[in-house]
Amino acid sequence: MTSSSLQACQLIVRATLVDIVDRNKFDHWYETEHLPDALKAFKAQRAWRGWSQTNPLVHFAFYEFTNLAEADAIQSSPALAALIAEFDRMWGKRVVRTREVIEIAGTLKTT
């Protein structure tokens, strides 16, 4: 294995549904609308998402940025404010969210 240190950062959004009946609708909306809108608005390098296999109510979205300054700037941006407003309009109190910016400290990959 080799290791490398990266400056890349990720914004991770954890969304927890209050009721499992919303999962299919939420999944479709996030895939077809919210994730593409956020990727474009954030000008992130890439975005992906997935569901927890431990808790079927928990969804994660990942947005990758070149550096910490880009990821931090999103937190107070009009782009995030607009996406939050749209999210709240669609889901109200049926989904609880947290956001975390993670600076990548290093990676390992097989050789």
4, part of any domain: no
109, part of any domain: no
**7 vs 83 pLDDT, higher one:** 83
Given a cut of 50, whether residue 86 has pLDDT beyond it is yes
76 is in which domain, residue-wise? Answer: 10-103
Strand partners, 16: 58, 96
Single out the residue of 86, 84, 35 nearest to residue 63, CA to CA: 35
5, part of any domain: no
Q: State the total domains in the chain.
A: 1
Provide φ and ψ at 30, rounded to 5°.
-65, -40
Per-residue pLDDT tens over the stretch 22-73: 999 999 999 999 999 999 999 999 999 999 999 999 999 999 999 999 999 9
Strand partners, 79: none
Share of the chain above pLDDT 90, in %: 86
What pLDDT is stored for residue 33 in this prediction?
Answer: 97
**Average of per-residue pLDDT values in the chain:** 92
Q: What is the CATH number of the domain that holds 30?
A: 3.30.70.100
